[in-house]
Amino acid sequence: MITKLTIASFKSLENLEVELGQLNVFVGANGSGKSNLLEAIGVLSAAADGKVTDQTLMQRGVRPGVPRLYKSAFPQKGGRQLSHIFLSASSSEAHYVVSLNNPMEDPSPAWRFKTELFERGATKVVSRGPATRDKPNTENGLAALKAVELRQDDPALRFLRRLQGYVIYSPTTPVLRGVALETQPRSPVGLSGGRLPEAVHELLAGRKDNEPAKRVAQDVLRLIGWARGYGSASSSELPLSKAASASPNVIRFVDKYMKEGRNVLSGYDASEGALYILFLAVLAVHPKAPLFFAVDNADDGLNPSLATALIKDFADWLLSSPHQRQILMTSHNPAVLDGLPIQDDRVRLFTVDRDNHGKTIVRRVVVDDGLLRMASQG
């Protein structure tokens, strides 16, 4: 697991350190810096994978940006601004640190590695100092190159691969419904929710030998409430206008209240809440889902009661899964908090705000006697 993140001079994150759990929920107002935090990790992931360009960032769900937008622009004493952004991630077994630079004027397509450090415990696997910045190939990360020499069971390699695989999911209703194309395809699901029918089919097909998937499939029906069953089907097999589908396969629901023969409907006609439930279920237990990822605005389109119930089940799915996935989620909906078991140290709740100078501040909400007294008083 990634236990600590440090970010400096990235957008509104001038100097930030966050200690992570397994499920991490960040709650804050629009513009407070929640998405900036997720994207900073995306830049760090791209650096760990050897290249920081618009393409490698977009593959991770990061909005590409020029140095003037990425580098913090807060006034400094003497008027001097940092020329680079600084990012690091740590686990109990390994540590990766990088500082990246790109000229404000006439920036290059790829960011340059100013410094880079990759450690296994106290042992340096890779080290690059600022004195090497004028040498060739400073646009390529050394840690990614060194990884090919590490043994498969090396804890440093496991840490690096977890970091390299990080992506930001931002599901949108049109893509989940299958009426809009996925622009960032991945397996098992795209970053906007594309390929959801295929992923649901794979999840259901693997239930026989996968107890967590079997339990999640039952929980999904309970959460949806009105469905007797669900799966996927060809868009031509369902009562769906050809003009309403951009994908060959769509989600298929069977309504338990309507009469037989008239009770089958597609994801296009179902509630968006049902589609978000399926989306999070896939990410929690599908064997091909990444080990480290974020979901931005995970509560979008959910009513308060469903938001509470879904986050409660999602936490249970995640914490009981053998895959040891680690997830960051952002939310605007206070109802999400009621479903979080924050007494469990693996689940961490953070508030995100900006101070009087506009700098993003992240604070962890810790369950203590004072908080429990306030809760008992409503």
In terms of Cβ atoms closer than 10 Å to its own Cβ (0-12, 13-18, 19+), residue 40 is: buried
Task: For residue 114, give every residue at least 6 positions away whose Cβ sits within 8 Å of its Cβ, in sequence order, or none.
Answer: 84, 99, 100, 101, 130, 133, 138
Given a cut of 70, whether residue 283 has pLDDT beyond it is yes
**Distance from chain centroid for Cα 300:** 15
Helix 155-164 with 34-48: angle, nearest 10 deg: 130
- Side-by-side strand order, sheet with 292-295: 167-169, 292-295, 326-331, 23-28, 347-354, 360-365
Given a cut of 70, whether residue 245 has pLDDT beyond it is no
Where do you find CATH 3.40.50 in the chain?
Answer: 1-166+292-299+318-378
Mean pLDDT of all residues belonging to the chain: 90
With pLDDT > 70 as the criterion, what percentage of the chain qualifies?
95
Give the pLDDT of residue 247: 76
Give the pLDDT of residue 359: 94
Given a cut of 70, whether residue 134 has pLDDT beyond it is no
Q: Are 217 and 228 in contact (CB under 8 A)?
A: no
For 285-342, the pLDDT digits (tens) are 999 999 999 999 877 778 889 999 999 999 999 999 888 999 999 988 888 888 999 8
Between 136 and 250, whose confidence is greater? 250
According to DSSP, the β-strands at 292-295 and 249-255 are unpaired
Place of tokens 């989306």: 279
Q: What's the token pair of residue 210?
A: 């996968």
User: How many other CB atoms sit within 10 Å of the CB of residue 27?
Assistant: 22
- C-alpha 14/C-alpha 75 separation (Å) is 11
- C-alpha 363/C-alpha 365 separation (Å) is 7
For 339-361, the pLDDT digits (tens) are 999 889 999 999 999 999 999 99
Q: Range with the lowest mean pLDDT among 19-28, 147-156, 237-246, 306-315? A: 237-246
Task: For residue 245, give every residue at least 6 positions away whose Cβ sits within 8 Å of its Cβ, in sequence order, or none.
Answer: 178, 179, 235, 266, 268
Give the number of C-alpha atoms closer than 13 A to the C-alpha of residue 290, restricted to the C-beta side.
24
Given a cut of 80, whether residue 81 has pLDDT beyond it is no
Q: What's the token pair of residue 352?
A: 């995100």
With pLDDT > 90 as the criterion, what percentage of the chain qualifies?
67
**Which of the 8 DSSP states describes residue 184?**
S
Mean pLDDT of 213-226: 93
CATH placement of domain 1-166+292-299+318-378: 3.40.50
According to DSSP, the β-strands at 167-169 and 84-90 are unpaired
Q: Range with the lowest mean pLDDT among 80-84, 231-235, 262-266, 341-345? A: 80-84
Q: Which amino acid, residue 138?
A: T
**Distance from chain centroid for Cα 214:** 24
Beta bridge partners of 168: 294
Given a cut of 70, whether residue 244 has pLDDT beyond it is no
Given a cut of 80, whether residue 133 has pLDDT beyond it is no
Q: What's the token pair of residue 14?
A: 């001038």
Which band of pLDDT confidence, cut at 50, 70 and 90, is reported for residue 239?
confident
- C-alpha 290/C-alpha 300 separation (Å) is 22
Look at residues 286, 293, 281, 305 and name the one whose alpha carbon lies nearest to residue 329: 293
- C-alpha 17/C-alpha 50 separation (Å) is 23
pTM (predicted TM-score): 0.94
Give the pLDDT of residue 243: 62
Nearest 5 degrees, angle CA 15-CA 17-CA 23?
140
Place of tokens 């369902």: 238
Given a cut of 60, whether residue 10 has pLDDT beyond it is yes
